Every structure is written in C-alpha cells, then in structure tokens.
Amino acid sequence: MTERYNVQAAETKWQKIWADKKTFQATEDRTKPKYYVMSMFPYPSGRIHMGHVRNYTLSDVVARFKRAQGFNVLHPMGWDAFGLPAENAARDRKIHPAQWTYENIKNMRAELVRMGLAIDWSREFATCDPSYYKHQQKLFLDFLKVGLVDRKESWVNWDPVDHTVLANEQVIDGKGWRSGAPVEKRQLSQWFLKITAYADELLAALGTLDRWPEKVRLMQENWIGKSAGARVRFSLMETAQSRLREAQSSRAQDIEVFTTRPDTLFGASFIALSPNHPLAAQLAQKDAKLAGFIAECNRTGTSEAVIEAAEKIGYDTGLKAQHVFEGQGALPVYVANFVLMEYGTGAIFGCPAHDQRDLDFARKYKLPVKPVVLPPGEDAKNFAVGTEAYTGPGVIYNSQFLDGLEVEAAKQKAIAEIEKRKAGTGTVQFRLRDWGISRQRYWGCPIPIIHCESCGPVPVPEKDLPVQLPEDVSFDRPGNPLDHHPTWKNVACPKCNKPARRETDTCDTFVDSSWYFARYCSATNSDKPVERSQADYWLPVDKYVGGVEHAILHLLYSRFFTRAMKITGHVGVDEPFAGLFTQGMICHESYKDEKGQWLYPEEVQKNADGTAQHVKTEKPVTVGRSETMSKSKKNVVDPGKIIDSYGADTARLFMLSDSPPERDLEWTDAGVDGAWRYLNRIWRKAAEAQLPPVGSPLPTQFTDKGQKARRAIHRAIADVSRAFEQFHFNVAVARVRELSNALDELDAQSANDMHVLREGLEALAQLVGPMLPHVAEDMWERLGHKTLLCDTPWPKADPTLLIDETVTIAVQVNGKLRATIMMPRNTAQKDAEAAALADPNVQRAMDGKPAKKIIVVPNKIVNVVA
RNA sequence: GCGGGCAUGACGGAAUUGGUAGACGUAUCGGACUUAAAAUCCGAAGCCGGAAACGGCGUGCCGGUUCAACUCCGGCUGCCCGCACCA
C-alpha cells in the first residue's frame, strides 16, 4: 500500500532532467541581477571527501536559493589540477601525471554529479589544460611588461637528494619530507611576482571587504604586517674601516638597520647582522671562525620547534660602529642567529632594556643594559631591568634631547633628528615578501621565458603560446624532468635567433588558482584569458565558499592577481571576492586497535556499554576523541558510500542540520539516519496526502487548525528565507522541520484543511528545494505540478499572517517570570497591566506589596516591580 | 610572545541582537501498531524538592550596569585557531 521513496531512481532522474534541459547553464542575461557564487575548486586527488561535500552543498544552497529569487546565477566548477601528488604518482606507480590527473577528474566529476549540484558544467576546466595555462602564460607576460615580475636571488630550502626546492611545509625536522635528507639553505635565482608593490593597497582595501569574516581580514592584516619605524645608518669606525679594506678591496660601508623603536636609540648596546648579511659574508672570507658560525646558523632549520628551542647566539666581529647620536660611543658589531636577512635590512641595533631578544643576547654576552623608557610610577634612580625587558609605555629618560617625551612623541622626534643628520629616514616596513613562483617541477605551468646568453631572459612571443609541457618525460631520476628532457629546452632565442634555453621552472600552483574565478566568466573563449564584457558582467564573485586554510595565501594572491589583471586591462575590479564564507571542518571519532594501529570507522563495532571492538577480530578498540577527518588517522567516511545507501539529499541534509556552517561538524551515523528519516517523512506526506487539485483557489474561511497552520506556513517562509540570507542553514532546517510538524496537526477529514495542507506542502517543497533538490522535485511532481520546482519563483510570506492577533505576554515580578497571559494584539498598556496584576500567581508573588513601577513592552512582557 | 575565537541539558545546537532560556534534532524512557523486530505514530524529559499546584536553582567562574543580562561592561579560568627570533 504505502509507496516508498526510491532515492537512487529519483536522484538519477532529476539529475538527468536538469542536465538535459541545461537548467544551470548561465549566460549574461542583463535583464536580471547577477549572482556569482562559487566553491573553492578541488585538487583532483581521486575521490571526493566530506569536506568537499560540505563545501559544495553550501554553495549549492546559495545558488539554488538565489536562482529561485530571480537572480541570474553563475555557479561553476573546475579542477586545481597541477601539483606534486601527480608527480609522486608518476614516480611511485609509473603512470603519467596527465593520465593520473584526468582519470581522477573523471571519477570525481561523476561523484559531484551524483550530489545533484546546480553547476554550470559547460564552464568546467582543469588548470593543467593547455587551453587554461596558455592564458596564464599570457598573463605572466603582461605582468612582466608592466613591471610586476622580477627575477632575483633568494634563499630557499634545497633538498640535495631530490634536487628540488622545498616549501617550508615540506621540511620536517630540518629534513626533506620525501628524501629524509637534511635540507640546505641555498641561494637560487627565481621568478617573483611583486605583490609587495601592493602591500599598502592590499592592507587598506581589507577595510572594504565587509562581507568577509573578520578573522580572515585580521589574518591577512597580520600577514601583510605593516610597521612604521626608521632606517638608520651606523657608520663603522676607523679601525674597523681599515680592517675591512684589508679584507676586501672595495670601500667599507655603513650598516643600515631597521627599527620600530627609534625612541630607544640611546639604549643601544650592540649592532647585530644576519648571518646572511653581505657584510657578514665579506668578513667571513678572512675569518674562518665566522664562516663556520654562519654555516652553523644556516644548518639549523627554520621550523617553529627549532626556533622555539634555539638559543640566541652571536659572533663578535670585532668591528665597532659609531652611534648615530653624539657622545654615545661605539657599539660592537655581532653576527647573530636571530636576525633575519629577509626582514628589514638584515641588521638591527640591540636595545636590551626594551626588547626581550636583545636582553637575552646581552645577558649572554655581558653587554650593557641601559633603560631609556621609564614605566609610569617608577623612579628613575631605582628602575632597573632584570630578566624581563620593558616594552610598555612610559617616559623617555637617559636620552638627551628625547628626555621627558612619551614613547610615541619620542619616535617622531628621534626620526626628525636622524633625518636632520642624514643618518636615515622614517620608513614603513612590511612583513609581506614578494611571491617566489619558480618551482623545479614538471607538473605545473611552464614559465614562458627563454634564456639567451647574449640577450638574457627573453619573453616567449605571444604567438608561440602556449609553451606546452612535453609528454615524453621520465621520472626515474631525481630533479626536474623538464631539465632532463633531451630536446624540450633547446630553442632559438626569439630576439637574436642564437641557440638558447627554455626556462625549465614551472609556476607555483597558487598561480593557477589566483585567477580561475575570472576564467570561469569566459571559460569557452580561446583567444583571451577573460573576455572583458563577460568579466565586467560577472565579477566580483558575490559569495566564495571554502576552507579557512586558504585564508591567507590563496585569498591574498587572488586579491593581488585581480589588481594586476586590472592594470593589464583584463578585468575591471580590484577585489575578486565581495563575499567570503569559511566553513568548518568535518570531524569524526578516531579508533585504535590493541597495537595502536588506526582503524576505519567501518572496522569498529560499538557495544552498548560504550566500549568498542573490532568487527572481525572482536578485539577491544580504543575510541579516541572526535577530530578533523584525516586519512592518516583513518577517521574518514567515504561520501560515495553514503550516497550509495542514502542518496545525495541525505548527505546534504546532514551537512546542513545542527552545526552552523562556520563551525566544525561531527559526523555521526545517528545524524545521517535522522536526515534520512526526515526526507522520507516529507516525501511520504506529499505522496500520500489527499489534496485538492493543483491551482485550486484557497477557501476564504479556515478552520482553527487551518488558520494556525497557515500562520506556521508563512512564518516558515519568512524565517527560512531569512536564515538562508544569513547563512544560518541549521536554523533553516529547524524551521522547515517545525513547518512539517505544524502540518501534521491538520485534519485529514476536513476538505477545508486539505486546501491548507496543499499550500503547506507546496511551501515545504519549495523551502527544502535548495537543500534537498531531488526530494523537493519529486514532491513537487507528486503534488501534481508539470513544471520544475527549481524553476519556480521563491514563495513570499503573506505579511498579515506573520502577526498573531492573540499574543502571549510574559508577566514578571521583580524580573522573575510568574505567569503568562493571553491578550489581543496591541492591547492598551493599562489593560495589559491590569490583566497582569489580576493574575493569581502574580498577586501571590507580589505578596500584598504595592506595585512601585510597571514596565510594559507591548505584546511581549509586563514587569512589575514590587 | 603577538593576534583572534569559543564556552548554553546526556549530545549537536536555537534564542528575531537587552524582554517567557533550552526551538529543532540526536540519544534516552514510556505507550500504540506487530507473533516479534524494523519502520511508523503518540507521549515524557534542564537540575533539585513535590502526587500535583507550585517553589528554588540554572547559559564556564567572580563582579558591575539595568525594571529585565546567554546577550552589554570589567576581571578571571579553560579549550580551540592563526602568526611567530618580523627588530
């Protein structure tokens, strides 16, 4: 008798209909407002994981909701397809990176299609397609023309076994993650994108991104790291000058330092150079001990743990520098391991009293500690610095012309004096560095440059793009396969036609993802990276959804790229993403067997008493806390299997229920069952109800139950719409469930009520549509509609049904709830007061005392102060 | 070290932003249907006391503002995240 919802059949059916009708293909329809929503595109690892499911469900709800609201929606998908794992697969499994990647894409696309996403698949691309990276090469050349590309030397982590540069994350305990060999620091000539040219602008514009999470903006702000200070030159003293002249024929130089605390210059007791400072290198040529010290510093890793534990050590060069201000004598010049060459000038002045690192260093090398900032309430005679540097506010003393000034004023004055003496300038320093994009790898976008012995680096002429990756490469020896290729790199110089060599480095994969959102606008255009009119129509992205792990690099690079693309005329906007949403992670309990080996959830059976055992061996299993799903801990659930047994809608509903999208979500089987039950429940309701035909006019009078249900229906429409707007999908689910509970109250015997039930079920189908698109379409059809639900305009709440004519008013006595009274809406204040005071519970609570004061909030509360 | 976030029943969470705390769901318990189970439906439930009416307590802790505080302010505690020898 009762029919059951056939998930698999229904989901396949609707997916096919959407695809056949090209429902979600977008064009630049200028009669409608546009809405561009996208998820961060996946790396084609081979399978989708739960994080993907959550990500795409979120953007899909937005896409479908906005579409129903009448927006012209673009919701695209692509593949972040270059990267190291493909090369690892090539090495480990003897399969070509391209083959591996495209097979993975094929599998993952099929899984995404099964999720029933409202995606315009006609715009799909992979970044490893020459038809994509060809445009990227063009962008590189355009950026080069306007001076946003630079070639310079930089220090890198070098793996001497794999012959490649490693990212910091690939250096584990100072060793290469694959080779296990100790990583060396090397100087290498690399291509850079000059993101620092936009440091100030990228920082300032964060203020305009009011639809970004505060947290992400702060992270970017810290990353850009603007600090105001001064560059100050310390001249080397006579004896030192002569020593240097001995060491090197060139003339001796000054030492320039950067400081944010020019107000503490009178507290200086030493100068410290980075081990990689040019002057240190110069001295090391004649000083074997110094050379050894520098080598030692470069051997020590840069990992956080190492830095944490590392002691501050230095080497006294014997040089003396003249203090910028008179009468301050000479300062010893050290080379110190804690000074970074990459920041500021690679040299500092040490003021031990007011900087903890300098203090540690000074104590170790018995250097003077002279306080120059007097903390409030301290006495100048008695104040001394012990083991903790004083970095707080105060008044400057022991500092000649700065004496008596507050810290900020003293900074200004000090800078003015330095500038007057031509010993330096006030300046702004950024923590942000230029973006090194060269990678010694095969599976990436080739950098379109040809190196010629006589002409230097020459851009590849645009007519020769793309510079395509050769297919016949071998991964059987370490290093860059492009470099080993017998013929690929041999080309004629485009300028002088002499034999020349191609650049064999490829782009960092972050380059690929820095402009893909723009490419979606013109994905089928083969002439240009983006067609300006299309970009102008769609950009910026209205809502970008993805993991917070990309809060800095990817999002910052994309912001930079967009500016660079604007300057080179490709787009018209500065900011790529007007709205950003960062989703939480998916967590699951983890399990270990007796031997401490991780187990998959499906290998574990839970017992009633809370213990757990292995499904097969029945040996006890330790249940660990719920933590982020990761392959290494095996606490993962395969979305494919969930979709197989419960369908996509169940997975989607579970993702949206309970946990707010920005928070972590714990995956539980019980939660999945709950979602599954609910979707069957509403489907049954739509399929079994005996309703008046589609389009029957609503009666003008309703039963009490009917009237109540109608209020619930319109309340739900209003609340769910608001919840969607606010990204509170868990609330939307709760409101939808309340609506289905309310519809259960209707009387199946009442023909009048059944009109209301039709209204309610149609609203219900529409409200769940963005979240459960398949069930919703199926319900819509069962309700007798011939059109697609997803083409149906979003329902509007009847405002007259949103206000109750009877309200429940809470009555408090001295702020404590004592009674609730039912009153007609907008009852006069004094009537509400009278009714409240007449309530027996209220009288009892007042205990015969007179009311001193009565506060009435209309239709809400009466508070009697007795 | 610097920057930021969070804390509400057994659990996930809600509270239109100062106005009835615990919506909605999970798990639990009781009932109906069933030979039985599953599914489904109905009901109970913050904690303490009470048969109940009702009363007391209650949003991490301490204090403040207010007629009224999960919400605002000050001070703690505990977890979580980002950056980190950035001068």
A476 pLDDT higher than 90 = no
Lowest-pLDDT range of A322-326, A494-498, A659-663: A322-326
**3-class secondary structure per residue, A306-370:** HHHHCCCCEEEEEEEEECCCCCCCEEEEEEECCCCCCCCCCEEEECHHHCHHHHHHHHHCCCCCC
DSSP state, A426? E
Distance A817 CA to B69 C1' (A): 14
Show the DSSP H helices in A539-690 as ranges: 553-567, 639-646, 648-656, 669-688
Give the H/E segment covering residue A72: strand A72-74
Span A316-343, mean pLDDT? 89
Q: In the complex, which nucleotide's C1' lies nearest to the CA atom of residue A741?
A: B24
Give the H/E segment covering residue A65: helix A50-68
Exposed / middle / buried, residue A497 (Cβ in 10 Å: 0-12, 13-18, 19+): exposed
Span A273-285, mean pLDDT? 91
Span A704-718, mean pLDDT? 94
pTM here is 0.93
Distance A1 CA to B35 C1' (A): 22
- Residue A207 CB neighbour total at 10 angstroms: 9
Span A430-457, mean pLDDT? 93
What are the backbone dihedrals phi and psi of residue A357, each rounded to the nearest 5 degrees, phi first?
A: -65, -45
A673 beta carbon to strand B: under 7 Å: yes
A650 beta carbon to strand B: under 7 Å: no
Closest CA to A84 of A100, A108, A73, A68: A100
pLDDT band at A1 (very low <50, low <70, confident <90, very high): very low
Q: In the complex, which nucleotide's C1' lies nearest to the CA atom of residue A302?
A: B85
Lowest-pLDDT range of A402-411, A476-485, A519-528: A476-485
Longest Cα–Cα distance in chain A: 108
pLDDT band at A626 (very low <50, low <70, confident <90, very high): confident
A721 beta carbon to strand B: under 7 Å: no
A264 beta carbon to strand B: under 7 Å: no
A744 beta carbon to strand B: under 7 Å: yes
Span A317-329, mean pLDDT? 87
Distance between CA A415 and CA A250 in Å, rounded? 30
Distance A657 CA to B14 C1' (A): 12
Closest CA to A368 of A311, A415, A408, A323: A323
Span A195-217, mean pLDDT? 93
A159 pLDDT higher than 90 = no
Residue A760 contacts residue A734 (beta carbons within 8 Å)? no
Strand B contact nucleotides, protein CB < 7 Å: 2-5, 12-15, 19-21, 23-27, 39-42, 54-56, 67-69, 81-87
Of chain A, the end-to-end C-alpha distance in Å amounts to 64
pLDDT of residue A782: 94
A 267-326 residues, CB < 7 A, strand B: 274, 300, 302, 304, 307-308, 310, 312
Mean pLDDT over all residues of chain A? 90
A670 beta carbon to strand B: under 7 Å: yes
Distance A6 CA to B34 C1' (A): 25
Q: In the complex, which nucleotide's C1' lies nearest to the CA atom of residue A842?
A: B54
A2 pLDDT higher than 90 = no
Q: Which amino acid is at A271?
A: I
Span A787-806, mean pLDDT? 93
pLDDT digits 0-9 by tens, A713-746: 999 999 999 999 999 999 999 999 999 999 999 9
A730 beta carbon to strand B: under 7 Å: yes
Q: In the complex, which nucleotide's C1' lies nearest to the CA atom of residue A337?
A: B85
Span A758-772, mean pLDDT? 97
Distance between CA A163 and CA A708 in Å, rounded? 74
Distance between CA A286 and CA A181 in Å, rounded? 31
Distance A815 CA to B62 C1' (A): 22
A 48-67 residues, CB < 7 A, strand B: none
Distance between CA A214 and CA A405 in Å, rounded? 36
Report how many helices (DSSP H) and strands (DSSP E) chain A contains, helices first: 27, 35
Residue A50 contacts residue A813 (beta carbons within 8 Å)? no
A343 beta carbon to strand B: under 7 Å: yes
A841 beta carbon to strand B: under 7 Å: yes
pLDDT of residue A609: 64
Q: In the complex, which nucleotide's C1' lies nearest to the CA atom of residue A258?
A: B87
Distance between CA A727 and CA A512 in Å, rounded? 29
Neighbouring residues of A394: CB distance < 8 A, sequence distance ≥ 6: A373, A374, A375, A376, A378, A406, A407
Distance A817 CA to B9 C1' (A): 20
Distance A740 CA to B71 C1' (A): 30
pLDDT of residue A300: 63
* Nearest-CA residue relative to C1' of B20: A810
pLDDT of residue A377: 82
Span A235-239, mean pLDDT? 78
pLDDT band at A63 (very low <50, low <70, confident <90, very high): very high
A59 pLDDT higher than 80 = yes
A227 beta carbon to strand B: under 7 Å: yes
Cis peptide bond N-terminal to A44, omega within 30? no
pLDDT of residue A174: 67
pLDDT band at A241 (very low <50, low <70, confident <90, very high): low
pLDDT of residue A168: 66
A 459-478 residues, CB < 7 A, strand B: none
Q: Which amino acid is at A92?
A: D
CB-side exposure of A578: number of CA atoms within 13 Å?
10
Span A238-257, mean pLDDT? 64
A103 pLDDT higher than 80 = yes
A118 pLDDT higher than 90 = yes
A860 beta carbon to strand B: under 7 Å: yes
Distance A690 CA to B34 C1' (A): 27
Tokens found for residue A783? 């309700």
Residue A783 contacts residue A686 (beta carbons within 8 Å)? yes
Give the H/E segment covering residue A156: strand A149-159
A866 beta carbon to strand B: under 7 Å: no
A249 pLDDT higher than 90 = no
- Greater pLDDT, A375 or A78: A78
Q: In the complex, which nucleotide's C1' lies nearest to the CA atom of residue A225?
A: B86
A 752-781 residues, CB < 7 A, strand B: none
- Residue A4 CB neighbour total at 10 angstroms: 9
pLDDT of residue A301: 53
pLDDT of residue A66: 97
pLDDT of residue A78: 98
pLDDT digits 0-9 by tens, A3-44: 789 999 999 999 999 999 999 999 999 999 999 999 999 999
Distance A651 CA to B5 C1' (A): 28
Span A285-289, mean pLDDT? 90
Give the rounded percent of residues in chain A with a pLDDT score beyond 70.
Answer: 95
pLDDT digits 0-9 by tens, A540-586: 999 999 998 888 899 999 999 999 999 999 999 999 999 999 999 99
pLDDT band at A829 (very low <50, low <70, confident <90, very high): confident
A21 beta carbon to strand B: under 7 Å: no
A239 pLDDT higher than 80 = no
A814 beta carbon to strand B: under 7 Å: yes
